[in-house]
Structure 1
Amino acid sequence: MEEQQRQKLSSRDKVLLAAMEMFGEDPASRLSVRAVASRAGLSTGSLRYHFPTQRALQDEVLTRVYDLVAPDDRIHDTSTPARDRLVDCLRQVLSRAGVGEQARQGTRRVVEDFVVPEPTKELRAAYLAIEREMRRRAEYWLAVLADEGALPDGDNTRRAKFLLTVLNGLGFERALPADDSILQSETDTLYTAVDCVLGTGP
């Protein structure tokens, strides 16, 4: 964005733009208040006026990034069975992990950023913000299906956590040596998980 356009933004939008740029450069970025305020050309007090906590800022940035990456979830396409739509949404998340070398690099980065270092308060907050946004999105998909009557009553938070655990395992599996049938195996696993959630399993 050109400097003239940037100056016309509200202070809140300047903060979000700076934070999203920083997140784009480094998805593991902690988005510290001081660093984001400096990048936005604002005082930390001005940033705190709009985002009282670092978590509030991280949550807003992650929501916006996700909406930019996947603005049209297939979950709303009622011409397709609910089972297929939910698998498609999960596969969309999983596709960001890549396959082979890309998956290995992504897994290595997660381990180096969140597993190897001492789990400081800041590090924990950064990881939990990402996890919370992913869970929020999965809960949203489940709520859409529940509204349609395609999902029995139940705890969608628990269901979302289960689906994300499956995705974490599949993402890690993508980084490991595998034979050519991994994609078929992955599809089978996704459908099994979705069947468990929808109550349509054997």
Structure 2
Amino acid sequence: MAGSRRQQIVEAARSILSEDPQSTLAVRTVAARVGIGASTLRHYFPTQQSLHEAIFAAALEDTPSEMRIHDTSTPARTRLRECLVQLLPPQQPISGAAADRILTALSTSFGSSSTDEARNAWGAYTLRTLDAIVGWLRVLAHQGVITDVDLRRRARFLLTVVEGIALTRIIPVTRPTSAEEEAILDDALSVVFRDTPA
């Protein structure tokens, strides 16, 4: 029962965040959503950071969708773009509690206080995402839209570009405009489609 209760708490917190990305995830709010007391929630997640880490790890377990990658009635670039865009965080400026959560998650994964669990979750997510992109490229190669050469290298290139755009969305620096982001993604797609058969 402990595993399922813990999962219920994480899912409730994720649900609250999907409704209100700026939510601070107050213990009483999350506990009420699950139908438990605040002390019970604290039994599973003694600190706010432990809850945030669990939410982050759960988000990393999500598998990217294939979207319309198989739909040949839609241009291949459009299909691949849609698949890649789903990997990005929301485009609106992130501030307050949402920004703090993301920065805490990044620090937990890569900072001096990083944990093996967080690094492993991030590594597993990266491999799953890379495999998903390879799969999308393989579909396009089977359709004859791109050549079936170095798909993993191309996938890693696309993931690097997407991660770069994602980083500019979540770290408080001067953000590129939507048009600049689209141009960057178009440049990356041009590399992938450069050897498109005639």
Query: What is the TM-score with the length of structure 1 in the denominator?
Result: 0.60
Q: How does 1:47-62 map to 2 (within 5 A)?
A: 62=61
Quote the offset at 1:142 in angstroms.
0.5
Aligned to 1:89: 83
Quote the offset at 1:200 in angstroms.
5.8
Quote the offset at 1:167 in angstroms.
0.7
CA contact (8 A) 2:110 2:119 kept: no
Is 2:79 the counterpart of 1:77? no
- CA distance in 1 between counterparts of 2:121 and 2:111 reads 15
Quote the offset at 1:74 in angstroms.
1.6
Unpaired segments ≥5 residues, structure 2: 15-43, 45-56
Aligned to 1:54: none
CA contact (8 A) 2:134 2:155 kept: yes
* 2:105 aligned residue (89, 110, 113): 110
Higher helix proportion (structure 1 or 2): 1
Aligned to 2:129: 134
Is 2:98 the counterpart of 1:101? no
- CA distance in 2 between counterparts of 1:193 and 1:106 reads 29
Q: What is the count of residue pairs matched by the alignment?
A: 150
Quote the offset at 1:19 in angstroms.
8.2
SS in 1 for 2:87: helix
CA contact (8 A) 2:108 2:114 kept: no
Is 2:160 the counterpart of 1:165? yes
Structure 1 residues 17-38: Cα deviation after superposition (integer angstroms, max 9, x where no partner): 7786576457xxxxxxxxxxxx
CA contact (8 A) 1:86 1:141 kept: yes
Unpaired segments ≥5 residues, structure 1: 1-5, 7-14, 27-38, 40-57
Quote the offset at 1:120 in angstroms.
4.9
Work out the percentage of aligned pairs sharing the same amino acid.
30
Aligned to 2:169: 174
Query: What is the TM-score with the length of structure 2 in the denominator?
Result: 0.61
RMSD: 3.4
- CA distance in 2 between counterparts of 1:165 and 1:183 reads 18
